[in-house]
Chain A
Amino acid sequence: MKNARKTKKSWVSPLFHLNQIWQISWYNFRSWRKNPRIILTFSLAFILCFLLTDKAVRFSYEYSTIMQIAEPFVWTFGDSNSILLASLLLILLFSDMPFLGVGVPYYLMRTNRIKWMLGQVLYICLATFMYMGFVLVSSIVICAKNAFPGNMWSETGAILGYSPAGKAVALPSTVKTMEMSTPYECMATIFFLMLLYTLLCVFIMFVLNIRKGKFWGIGGVFTLSIYGFLLNPQLFKDALKLTDEQMYIANVATGWASPLQHATYHMHNFGYDLLPRLWMTYTIYGVLILTCFLIAFLSIRKYNFKFVGGLE
């Protein structure tokens, strides 16, 4: 009888745990209200989209052609430099990780460290998704006036892909990507790739923040970004002493070794080369993110919470 009562008492619905995790996560979202840092991040993201998509819009006006509504996003964020810029803005959004607000002690008393961490992870994932969604919607809205919604590539895309004009205005539109997919499919893939890359950046920042402190967290993301930015085929060419004709080895090596290139849509194998396939990239990102998650999971047990500030 005694044992039965004990069992009944200790059983708690999984929904209760999920609700607690959600509440912890929601607590972080509540801090967005009138938060200048959040407003600044999203404003800068909108300005970034405006500036980056401007090339595509101007190009279509110059040629008196219209675009497919997803194309500006596809061309803009089909470029590794644009992905890098967009992901760096997230550092601003998550600069206060691991979010030790005044309410955290109360949550820690009512839940436990693991649930608190899962709440942070949920918040990170949702905030990153919202941020990337905002970037996508902004790119679409900015260019919508001169674009059509049908799921087919536009003449502007064909001009960019089939002539050196795309290269001249630095819009990475390749026939390879256009022939093998539709605009919305391409847009969804690029969105997912960007999301995974930014999630990886944020998780690395989260883990380093927990283990080493904020300085190392921000430093870690910058290091990852700089590594992706500086890793180019020329480095491999020099290191492996390759000839011009063997340049493909350097190009392929860069495609595999750089996390930033993994986030770049056209740097994937669509059936004709040796670059990673999309599913391979998803797996690599998935494993890396999961590894970060596990490290965070192990680290949080020994994490020394230090609270600053007073009651609101």
Chain B
Amino acid sequence: MKKILVKLIAAITCVTMLTACQPTPEDEAIMSKKDKQFEKLILEAASDVKTEYPESYKNDFVSKDKKVNFTIDAEVTVSDENKYPVFTIKLMPITDEMTQRLVEVFLEGDDGYYPLSTLTKSELAEEIIKIQARLADEEGLREFCGDDETYDRVVANHQGTIEFYQGKMKDAPEEKLKIPTELVFQPLDFYLEERIYSQYSAEQELKEGVKTDESENKYLISDTVLSDGRFGRMRVSNEFNNIFIDNSAYGDERYQMFMYKIHSYVGLSNLYMDDPFNASSGDGDIMALFPKLTITKDEALDIAKNALNDMGVDYFYLMSSRVEKEMPTYKEWTQIYQHQDELGYDFGKAQEEVMSKKPEIFYIFEFRPTYFDVPFIPANSRYMPEETYRPTIENEKIRIRVSNDGVAAFSWINPIEAINVINDDVKLLPFEEIIKYAQQRMKLSYNLVAMVPLHDDSDIDLQLEKYKEVNVNIYEIELGLTRIPVYNKVGEYMMIPVWNFYGVYDIIGKSEENTHLMSDDDLSERRYKIPLVTVNAIDGSIIKEVMQNP
């Protein structure tokens, strides 16, 4: 055995020596976060002499695989104060007072009512007529359903609904039951149980007061009819994994529950339906009810900003804006999927082409907060459920939809507040070093494999042969704050200063079919500015936080 061991060791030594290793590089490719180096750096205060940043920066370089050409011709954006804090944050509970302030603006002075879904006799009759008309159009319904099996199922459902409504007809009230809400938070049971939804006991129950645990009061749901005749719906929640209640258009006992991955949410929409953001493929006809846009973008933006000011939420800045068209109908979705196959699985292009004829109905403005006069800028990140191993929260944002009738929808997701300022003016790395780290990272991170659309179902090498190169244009470099998780404290976050390198890229294929030019897009119409790389301004490490949503 000893001989064998000696022979084995000798053989390994010889092989290792003969192979001759490569020399060790001088620079580390990945910055170590061991030994709490970062935790020490965030305590270092900036010097009294403020760092000067250039107004613009220019440079060209290529990626490691020599297939991606980078052109930086960027404006450098820093805050006026040039003072960057580090602080821990927590979600700000939404209070009754806060909600009432928002409601005053968005309900335009009208009263809010409990979301009672009981249909009146005339409403039930109307619903029955509508469904009967749908069933009478057999050809249209068959075309909508696509196949016999679906058709039979839909017909059976409709007939069931008619029977259900006919059964309700006898006890249905003549007039709509309206109970004004005090706009205070209630426990979920309050909305789920029969208190609200049962038609006749609701008023009495509300008068007597609901005996529940105060600590469970996390939900606030309210309906209203505005003085101009529009219908409004408000849903506010302070519950993790929000459970929103939607009493659907069909009426009592048919409500649904939706779950979101956000901690808290202020949502208010004076629209026909609950939340147009969640409109599904079958709701194209509902979206078609909204008026076509005639106001200009600037007018719409003024309306949105005025609404924010009226609510007293004045620390938000405009992050992005876009126009939204009517939702595709069922038929159009089918066309998109078919067209996608013809265009080599390019869903975006297929959707754009099919949707080009649809009318525009909203301007959507997305606002991000500023903290201590420094803008919050989302990091380069992706949300991948399969790689997430802890609860996550979406970044704070306010989204406002403006139609011809004014503000059509408002949502405020995850309001947060600073709880502990660790350093009110932290020492940052010089701009030259940030550029060095960013370029190093871009050279390594961006290659043909990373940037061209690839599909799992065919050979990657064969797919790569279709593409020639990628041209990246960095047009803005911005210094702001972003959120990172606190080490060893799951669920806690801190804000730190980071540099975002925003850019667009053109994929040049060997044929026109595989060429995708992003630089042709109107940047102002983009939903988000895309940070190609986010560099920690304190230590130069790369922020790649998969937990954050854009």
Contacts and interface: CB of A to CB of B under 8 A. Distances in A.
B449 interface: yes
B70 to A, nearest CB: 14
A134 to B, nearest CB: 9
B44 to A, nearest CB: 20
Contacts of B460: 168-169
B447 A255 contact: no
Contacts of A178: 30
Interface in B454-500: 454, 460, 485, 487-488, 490
A180 B441 CA distance: 18
Contact of B389 (A147, A149, A161, A273): A273
For the complex of A and B, 5 pairs with smallest distance between CB atoms: A245-B261, A150-B24, A273-B389, A247-B385, A163-B450
A181 B61 CA distance: 30
Contacts of A248: 385, 388-392
B263 to A, nearest CB: 11
B22 A163 contact: no
Contact of B390 (A175, A233, A272): A272
5 contacts: A148-B23, A159-B444, A161-B30, A182-B32, A245-B385
B133 interface: no
Given A63-B447, A141-B19, A247-B388, A148 B25 contact: yes
Given A144-B21, A273-B490, 18 more contacts: A30-B1, A66-B25, A141-B19, A144-B16, A145-B19, A148-B24, A153-B30, A154-B25, A155-B444, A158-B30, A158-B444, A163-B447, A165-B447, A168-B460, A175-B542, A180-B32, A269-B389, A271-B488
Contacts of A64: 64
A148 B29 contact: no
A165 B450 contact: yes
Contacts of A252: 389-390
Interface residues of A, number: 57
A150 B386 CA distance: 33
A164 B147 CA distance: 40
A275 interface: yes
Contacts, number: 146
A162 B447 CA distance: 11
A152 B1 contact: no
Contacts of A23: none
Contacts of A159: 64, 444-445, 447
Interface residues of B, number: 49
A152 B30 CA distance: 8
B31 A163 contact: no
A301 to B, nearest CB: 31
A86 to B, nearest CB: 19
Interface in A211-248: 233, 243-248
A114 interface: no
B28 A153 contact: yes
Nearest to B20: A145
B25 A155 contact: yes
B278 to A, nearest CB: 13
Interface string B36-71: 000000000000000000000000000011000000
A255 B30 CA distance: 26
- In this complex, the member of B20, B22, B33, B261 whose beta carbon has the largest number of chain A beta carbons within 10 angstroms is B22
B64 to A, nearest CB: 6
A208 B441 CA distance: 52
Interface of A: 26, 29-30, 32-33, 62-66, 69, 137, 140-141, 144-150, 152-155, 157-159, 161-165, 168-169, 175, 178-182, 233, 243-248, 251-252, 255, 269, 271-275
Contacts of A163: 444-447, 449-450
Nearest to B390: A273
A29 B2 CA distance: 11
A57 to B, nearest CB: 12
Contacts of B544: 162, 175
A281 B437 CA distance: 36
Given A158-B444, A179-B32, A273-B490, A247 B22 contact: no
B24 A149 contact: yes
A162 B441 contact: yes
Contact of A164 (B12, B391, B450): B450
Contacts of B16: 140-141, 144
Contacts of A165: 447, 449-450
Given A144-B16, A233-B386, A152 B24 contact: yes
B28 A152 contact: yes
B265 to A, nearest CB: 13
A150 B21 CA distance: 10
B34 A181 contact: yes
A243 B258 CA distance: 10
Contacts of B387: 251
A161 B488 CA distance: 22
A233 B385 CA distance: 10
Contact of B261 (A180, A182, A243, A275): A243
Given A150-B24, A245-B260, A274-B490, A251 B386 contact: yes
Given A162-B445, A247-B385, A251-B389, A180 B33 contact: yes
Contacts of A69: 21
B6 interface: no
A148 B21 contact: yes
B15 interface: yes
Given A137-B12, A152-B25, A157-B29, A271 B450 contact: no
Given A158-B29, A163-B450, A248-B388, A149 B64 contact: no
Contacts of A274: 389-390, 490
Contacts of B441: 158, 162
A131 to B, nearest CB: 13
A152 B390 CA distance: 29
B269 interface: no
Nearest to B260: A245
B462 to A, nearest CB: 13
Contacts of A137: 12
A153 B385 CA distance: 27
Contacts of B391: 248
Nearest to A247: B385
Interface in B300-343: none
A157 B387 CA distance: 19
B414 interface: no
- In this complex, the member of B16, B460, B541 whose beta carbon has the largest number of chain A beta carbons within 10 angstroms is B16
Contacts of A66: 22, 25
Contacts of B23: 148
Contacts of B12: 137, 141
B181 interface: no
Nearest to A245: B261
Contacts of B261: 243-246
Nearest to A152: B28
A291 to B, nearest CB: 28
B241 interface: yes
A33 B2 CA distance: 12
